[in-house]
Amino acid sequence: MNLGMTEILIILLIALLLFGPRKLPELGRSLGQSIREFQRGVRSVREEFERAAEVKEFKEIKEELSKPIEEVRKPIEAKEEAKG
């Protein structure tokens, strides 16, 4: 949804009529702070998902790498058991 200059001016005019000229700067500050907090929250959630994905990928890679190691270990352990 893109707002053109006309739409923005209409919104500002309605806000001016509803809240008055003294409240508009305060309203603008509050809106700006709310938008920043929302963006921080979205960023935090995104970072958490990315960390979780990295952990999952790391576990999958670790499992894939451990398969060949187990295949090598089995004959060695069997040999050691046969000696002992």
CA distance 42 to 34: 12
CA 79 distance to own-chain centroid: 50
Predicted confidence at residue 37, as pLDDT, reads 95
Predicted confidence at residue 59, as pLDDT, reads 78
Predicted confidence at residue 1, as pLDDT, reads 64
CA distance 39 to 24: 22
Domain count, the chain: 1
CA distances to 36, 65, 81 from 76, rounded to whole Å, are 59, 18, 9
Predicted confidence at residue 35, as pLDDT, reads 92
Predicted confidence at residue 66, as pLDDT, reads 74
pLDDT in tens, the chain (84 residues): 677 889 989 988 898 888 888 888 888 899 899 999 999 999 999 898 888 878 777 778 777 777 777 777 777 777 777 776
Phi, psi of 63, rounded to the nearest 5 degrees: -65, -45
Could you list the residue range(s) of the whole structural domain that residue 13 is in? 5-83
Q: How many residues does the chain have?
A: 84
